Every structure is written in C-alpha cells, then in structure tokens.
Amino acid sequence: MAVTLEQARRVGYTCLKALLRFAFMVANNLVAIPSFVLYLIMLQPLRMLDSESFWYIEGILFKWLLAMVASWGWWAGYTVVEWGDDVKAVSEDEAMVLVNHQATGDVCTLMMCLQDKGTVVRQMMWLMDHIFKYTNFGIVSLIHGDFFIRQGRAHRDQQLVLLKEHLEKYYRSRNRKWIVLFPEGGFLRKRRETSQEFAKKNNLPFLKHVPLPRLGATQVILKTLVAPQENGTPAGRDAVIKESKSKGLQWVIDTTIAYPRGEPIDIQTWILGYRPPTVTHVHYRIFPVKDVPTEPEALTHWLYQRFTEKEDLLTHFYETGAFPPLPGETKAVSREMTLSNLWLVGIQSLAFLSGGMWYCLFRYFYHCLF
C-alpha cells in the first residue's frame, strides 16, 4: 500500500520528536545525576553533624530528580487519573504500597502521581529488581537507600534476610515513610502463564490481568516495620521504632494501575513520546495495618484476596473505561492529577544550571592544578 505524503510527514515528525526528546533526556541525566551526587558529597560534613537535616535535603533533591522523570511523560501528554481512596490523607503516616506490575512505565507513573502527595516522594523507599542498580538511576537509588532485590528461587531466602537487615539499618534512620513494592515478582507478561499454571494445580483463583502475588517481601516488611502494639508482635523485635518514637507502619495502600485497552507504557515510550497522549488510571484502597495478618497462611490468603479484587477492578475498567465505586459507595469518583509546568521548568533549569556550575568549577580547579 502506497504511503501518502501526509503519512510520511507524520512519521517524519514522530521520528524527529523522538530523537529530540532522547537527546534532551540524555542531557538531563548528564547534568542532573552528577549534580545530585556532587551536592551530597559536598554535604557530607552536615551528615556527620546533623544526619536528619542531611537526609531532609537529600529527600528534596531526590523528589526533584523523580519530578524530572515525571516531566518526560507529562510533556508527552501521558497523564494520570486517580480513583478510590484519597491517599493524601495518610501521606504523613507510614505505609506499604502494593502495586501491580505490567511494564517499566509503572515506576514512571508512580513517580508522577505521587509528586503531589506531600512529603511522600522524598521519604519513600523503593523495592526494585537488582538490574536497575546498573542503570543511569542506580547510583541515585543506592544513595537514597532503595533495596535492589534479586529474583529467582535460588536467591529468595538470602534476599529476604538482606531485606530485613536493610530495613532495620536504613528505613527509620533516614526517616522513610512509604515503602513501594511489586508483590508479583515480575511483569505481567512474564509471570501470567506460570501463575495460572500454579493456580490450576493448587485450586487458586485463575487471574488474567494480574499474576498471583508472592508472600516473602510483604511479610518481611510487615514483621520488621509494624509497631508491636498493632499486631501483638514481641516488643523486642524492632528497637528502632522506640528510638525514633515512630508509630510504625500504619497503612497498606493497595494500588492498581490500568492502561487503556490493557496496553502498558514502557520506559522507551515514556522517554521518546511516540505514543499518542494517554491517560493512565490509578486506583487506591487503604487498609489499616492492624487488619492485615502477618502469619504466612493468613497473609497469603489476604494477598490473594487483594489481587482477586485487582482482577475484578481491571476487568471492570477494560469493559467500561472506569473503575467501579468503592465498597459502600454508589458512585465512583475520579480525580485528575496535575503537575505545574512552571515548577517542572524551574527544576529542569536548576539541573542544567547546576551542571554548568560544576563544569565551570572542575575546569577552574583543573587549570589551577595543571
């Protein structure tokens, strides 16, 4: 079939836009990430004198970096509409966020939709696949104290021990509030078939839109971060809670991400922007942690219930284009999430000005020394 002039122009425009966006993303990373690292190196004396203030500043810089990633999608027309419970109400409390995982764009979507949730972004900890340690953002996450988990049965027990140690060492010493994890242990396209086979063998729910979740990391987080009075766990388990006067983990936020027609956005699309403007829908349900069991069998059943609900939510969304009302409500209410273009431009400008400043300083000292 012959290509019309209009089609050729459209393809040419899309390719040019993608190339320019890629160049901007590379330049953005080259100035922002080294600047983040260098600012924190310069602030090491403050870390020794006043650790709390150091991690407060680090959190602000971290939020700005995530806002830069959010801006790549925002300026491509990739926006978010939120449904269900309003998580702003618990943004200052400790919470565990359970998210379904369809593609690399899920992380970018969360980076965007959590920007307007108070202090959440700068005080959150991410659990992510260890492969992300070797990406451009790996050094930032390492400094921030995120946990990189290695997948696979051979590593599972060791990784859970390392996760517990990591939480005890970094979570409250750096004043973290929210912890985000993907309990499925991988992308939907990679986990669906094995999950369905497991469900058939064990007479469990047969799910199409989400795999069955895994127990390990969720249980470790609950047992490590929940205050003793919430579920009767022995008081000596987490002395850090007493030292920091923390109330411990108070909420579990069940988060469901849905893409139109079930076509997820990946990181390449987020960067290059070749997909038409898309609205991603995010649904929240908040559960008090005191209602969440910690014993393996009961917690497994509770998680399976949540993911069965996710299946129902996604089925309803793909059929109607909207999420259903929350239990006890008659009408579902959506909220369009917005970002300030002025604020995003200001952060990007600061990144490029910082990059220029560090470049000039290095050149000056180089000429002084040589």
Domains of the chain by residue range: 78-226+247-324+332-339
Q: What is the mean pLDDT of residues 208-227?
A: 92
* Cα dist from 197 to 148, 193, 315, 351, whole Å: 28, 6, 20, 48
Q: How confident is the model at residue 3 (pLDDT cuts 50, 70, 90)?
A: low
Supply the pLDDT for residue 239. Answer: 39
- Angstrom distance (rounded) from CA 268 to CA 277: 15
- Angstrom distance (rounded) from CA 74 to CA 64: 14
Supply the pLDDT for residue 275. Answer: 93
Would you tell me how many other CB atoms lie within 10 Å of the CB of residue 178? Answer: 24
Q: Are 214 and 202 spatial neighbours (Cβ–Cβ below 8 Å)?
A: no
- Angstrom distance (rounded) from CA 171 to CA 139: 18
- Tell whether the torsion through CA atoms of 255, 258, 264 and 265 is positive or negative: negative
Supply the pLDDT for residue 128. Answer: 87
Q: Which one is predicted more confidently, 35 or 130?
A: 35
Residue 309, Cβ density class (10 Å: 0-12 exposed, 13-18 middle, ≥19 buried): middle
Q: What is the mean pLDDT of residues 216-236?
A: 72
Q: What is the mean pLDDT of residues 324-342?
A: 91
Q: What is the mean pLDDT of residues 247-274?
A: 94
Percent of the chain with pLDDT over 90: 74
- Angstrom distance (rounded) from CA 287 to CA 94: 12
Supply the pLDDT for residue 1. Answer: 53
As a three-state string, the secondary structure of 237-250 is: HCHHHHHHCCCCCC
52 has a pLDDT exceeding 60: yes
Tens digit of each residue's pLDDT (9 = 90 or more) over 89-103: 999 999 999 999 999
Phi and psi angles of residue 335, each rounded to the nearest 5 degrees, phi first: -130, 125
- Give the right CATH number for 78-226+247-324+332-339 from 2.40.50, 3.40.1130, 2.60.40, 3.10.20: 3.40.1130
8-state DSSP, 215: S
